[in-house]
Amino acid sequence: MKIKFATTYGFCFGVKRSMELADAETGAGKSVCTYGPLIHNEQVIKDLQSKGIERIESLNEILDSYERVIIRSHGISHAEYQQFIDSGLDVIDATCPFVKKIHQHVQTCHKQGQPVIIIGDAQHKEVIGINGWCENQGFIIDQEEQIDELPDLDHPCVVAQTTFSLTRFNSILKKLKSRFDPLQIHRTICAATEKRQNACIELAKTVDALLVIGGKNSSNTKKLVEIGGLYCPVVFHIETAQEIPFQDLSKYHTIGITAGASTPDWITKEVLKTLNQQGNEQTMQEMMEEMEKEMQKIYTRAIVTGSILSVSEEGVLVNIGYKSDALIPKNELSFKKDVLLAEQFNVGDEIEAVVVNMNDGEGNVVLSTRRLAQKAAWKKVKEFQDADQSVMVTIDEVNKGGLVAYIEGLRAYMPASQLSVSYVKDLAQYLNQEIEAKIIELNPRKNRIILSHKVIEEVIMKAKADAFWATLEKEQKIVGKVKKIMPFGVFVELGGVDGLIHISDLSWGKIKHPKEVLTVGDDVETIVLDFNRETNRISLGYKQLIPHPWDNIEEKYVVGQVYEGKVARFTDFGAFIELTQGVDGLVHISQIAYERINKVSDVLEIAQMVNVKVLSVDSENHRISLSIKETLEKPERPERPERPAQDSKPKRKRAPKRKEEKFESYTSGDDSEITIGDLFKDLDLDN
């Protein structure tokens, strides 16, 4: 007789967890029991009873007589669970996590008003418990024919008993889809159940007879018997070694052995031992070796593949086809610290990992996906660096010194100094943002990866600068953005290159600070005054693109016309009036007022608005003569007062006027008519 084992059999994660919780209660010093059978295996139940943990079927008896209760692995209804909680009883919930997840599904759907369809055995404790989480209003079916009997349902939710036949589930589901649309489907058949069923099928195809070990009330074991019978004509279902049908088995050359999910290893080993004692061709040692061969080869540093059985905050439990399930602790799942496992991993997913420990002290094989990925990740990152290839990373952390991201799962750091060519004050703005970077330092031994976004900016800026300089010419008009303002001028970003507008080239008028003309962020058109490629300096003009205020000045300010202006500054001889920016005119002190003034400041104030009359315009020398007083009304002169009469002195009488004599010539002598000219006619007046 030759013995072959299924690649997967025996305790599943849920059963193993239940057994561990129950074992922890032995010797606790308090009365403890299980509500119904912990698992469907009489040998296990008897073993627990021998340790002081009784199986009690009555809820009231538990409430009256016990201090602690262990909830069976198949779960209970919500009402029963609430009764235990409300009573103050210590509750150890050994419900299989997969079953617990079904409870959550049906409770949520029921609260939302969705009808619930449960595919499973209506008499099974697991199904009864599931129905209790939707107030026993679920529609329970296990045959395709029952679908026609269902009422019309609006968007029903579908779940399945964890140990239900996968083949039958798919057939029922297919018909449900044709009857109901839409249909919310939760594939809740346990991954361990599926694997055991598939392993049983493969084994049944290669043996003459099949021996299935497990409880007669165990649903998953009965499913193995049912499925095995489809591919092997002879199937025996036994609970213990005492039930081995030796006489029947002796007829067959190759015997296949599998076990249900609630069958402990010690029962399976007892069956092997008994077979050996009955004189089989194989010794016990040979059969154990055969069993090991059927299992996946497991050793430290071996790379294995398995399916996820459960996901918790502590890690992920994986079925790897070994005699015990494997654990991947949280810190061995990812390079990141704060990863949410429930969002990253799903029950039933295939996962590849490396074995790091054959036994963690509790019988678990310890795996690591992080270490498996680490070697490949470093190789990939090295390729990025060697090829000078940029990578896109998402910023996961921000600290005072820089940013943290992950490349191929490896932690990488970008110092603040490598973020940009410009100073970045607020690093927090980059959190959860995707950014392009290059690897500038790599040291696997120190787990050190340094990133830089700055080098990418520098390359882009250099390319822009080269293209810019190649086309730059004097007197070229160019648009840029105001980048920085200093007291001496304005820096303008011109596409990778900065140019400077000196304060003297900002305005035709006099300004105290460049901020009076431009603001950081302004788009500004400039003209290239001069440039030097070697020193990377560009001199720009701004006012040069603005018409000179003195152009056509005679047309703007006509002699004799009155205009408004602002008092700009004083001098000893008058005041300068700003007519417009860049154009000042002079009001001489004599043209300020009609009355005499000593100081200009006695009459005017800086920034005062006044009306002025243009007296003259000298466009060549940029001079305008103005008058304020001529815009004012000329005051009238006051009348001179009359002198008072003087009565004290009598008026003096005037002498009569002497008659005037007309002298036509000066005469001297008798009747001779000699003039003065005749007397001095020979006089030389030049000497």
Pick the CATH number of 472-545 from 2.40.50.140, 3.40.50.150, 1.50.10.150, 2.40.30.20: 2.40.50.140
- pLDDT value, residue 635: 83
The catalytic residue among 126, 239, 294, 332 is: 126
pLDDT of residue 652: 59
By the 10 Å C-beta count (0-12 exposed, 13-18 middle, 19+ buried), 319 is classed as buried
Residue 124 is classified by DSSP as S
Q: How far apart are CA 441 and CA 126, in angstroms?
A: 57
Give the residue range(s) of CATH 3.40.1010.20 domains in the chain: 98-185, 191-294
DSSP secondary structure of 548-594:
PTTTTHHHHS-TT-EEEEEEEEEETTEEEEEEETTEEEEEEGGGT-S
CATH 2.40.50.140 residue ranges for the chain? 303-372, 388-452, 472-545, 553-631
Instruction: Say what the pLDDT of residue 281 is.
Output: 45
Q: What is 388-452's CATH number, 3.40.50.1820, 2.40.50.140, 3.40.50.1100, 3.90.1580.10?
A: 2.40.50.140
Q: What is the structure's pLDDT at 275?
A: 78
Give the whole-angstrom CA distance, residue 164 versus residue 219: 8
Architecture per CATH, domain 98-185, reads as 3-Layer(aba) Sandwich (3.40)
**What top-level class would CATH report for the domain 191-294?**
alpha beta
Q: What is the pLDDT of residues 643-682, one digit of tens each?
A: 665 555 555 556 565 544 443 333 333 444 444 444 444 5
Structure-token match 């009155």, residue found? 562
Q: Is 117 in contact with 150 (CB distance < 8 Å)?
A: yes
Is-catalytic flag, 67?
A: no
Summarised one tens digit per residue, pLDDT across range 92-130 is 999 988 899 899 999 999 999 999 999 999 999 999 999
Q: How many residues does the chain have?
A: 687
Nearest of 118, 94, 90 to residue 39 by alpha carbon: 94
- Residues 100, 81 contacting (CB under 8 angstroms): no
Those residues of the chain that have pLDDT short of 70 are 28, 277-297, 323, 335-338, 361-363, 638-687
- What is the spatial distance between Cα 552 and Cα 565, in angstroms, rounded to a whole number? 18
CATH number for the region 553-631 comes to 2.40.50.140
Fold of 303-372: OB fold (Dihydrolipoamide Acetyltransferase, E2P) (2.40.50)
Query: Quick check: 603 and 567 in contact, CB under 8 A?
Result: no
